[in-house]
Amino acid sequence: MNHELQKKLDEAVREYDSLEMDVAESFKWPREKMARFGELSKTKTLADEYQKSSETRKKDIEEKLKELLGLNGTSRNKAILEIRAGVGGDEAALFAADLFNMYKAYAQKQNWEFKILDESKNDLGGYKEAVAEIRGKDIYDLLRRESGVHRIQRVPATEKSGRIHTSTASVAILPVAEEKEIEVKDADMEVTFSRAGGPGGQNVNKVETAVRLLHKPSGIIVSSRTERSQKANRDRALEILRSKLLDEKIRKEEEAERKERKEQIGTADRSEKIRTYNFLQDRVTDHRINKSWHNIKNIMSGNIDQIVDKFRNI
Q: Are residues 55 and 82 in the same domain?
A: no
Answer yes or no: do 100 and 53 share one domain: no
Q: Write down the pLDDT at residue 191.
A: 85
Q: What is the DSSP string of 12-55?
A: HHHHHHHHHHHHHHHTTHHHHHHHHH--HHHHHHHHHHHHHHHH
Rounded (10°) angle between helices 3-26 and 40-69: 160
Amino acid (1-letter code) at residue 7: K
114: domain CATH number? 3.30.70.1660
Does residue 234 form part of some domain?
A: no
The total domain count for the chain is 2
Q: How far apart are the first and last CA of the chain?
A: 16
Q: Do the domain assignments include residue 245?
A: no
Question: Are 287 and 274 contacting, i.e. CB atoms less than 8 angstroms apart?
Answer: yes
pLDDT for 108 equals: 94
Q: Please report the pLDDT score of residue 83 as a whole number.
A: 94
Q: How far is CA 241 from the centre of its chain?
A: 12
Which residue among 26, 42, 69 closes a domain?
69
pLDDT tens digits for the chain (314 residues)? 445 656 666 776 777 677 667 666 656 555 555 455 555 555 566 666 766 776 777 676 666 665 555 444 445 788 999 999 998 888 999 999 999 999 999 999 999 999 998 888 888 889 999 999 999 888 888 898 899 999 999 988 767 777 888 999 999 998 887 666 677 888 888 888 876 654 444 444 445 678 888 898 888 888 887 777 888 888 888 888 888 888 888 777 767 655 544 443 344 444 568 999 999 999 999 998 899 999 999 999 999 999 998 887 66
Residue at 203 is within a domain: no
Gap between the Cα atoms of 281 and 283, Å rounded:
5
Please give the residue range of the domain that contains residue 157.
Answer: 78-176+285-310
In a shared domain, residues 164 and 297 = yes
- Give me the DSSP letters along 46-115: HHHHHHHHHHHHHHHHHHHHHHHHT-S-----EEEEEEEE-SSHHHHHHHHHHHHHHHHHHHHHTT-EEE
Q: Are residues 15 and 140 in the same domain?
A: no
* Residues 34 and 84 occupy one common structural domain: no
Do residues 33 and 108 share a domain?
A: no
Q: Which of 12, 41, 69 is the last residue of a domain?
A: 69
Residue 139 shares a structural domain with residue 171:
yes
Determine how many CB atoms are found less than 10 A away from the CB of residue 171.
23
Please indicate, yes or no, whether residues 52 and 98 belong to a single structural domain of this protein.
no
Q: According to the model, what pLDDT value does residue 71 have?
A: 44
Do 107 and 151 lie in one domain? The reply is yes
Same domain, 156 and 114: yes
How many Cβ atoms are within 10 Å of 142's Cβ, its own excluded?
20
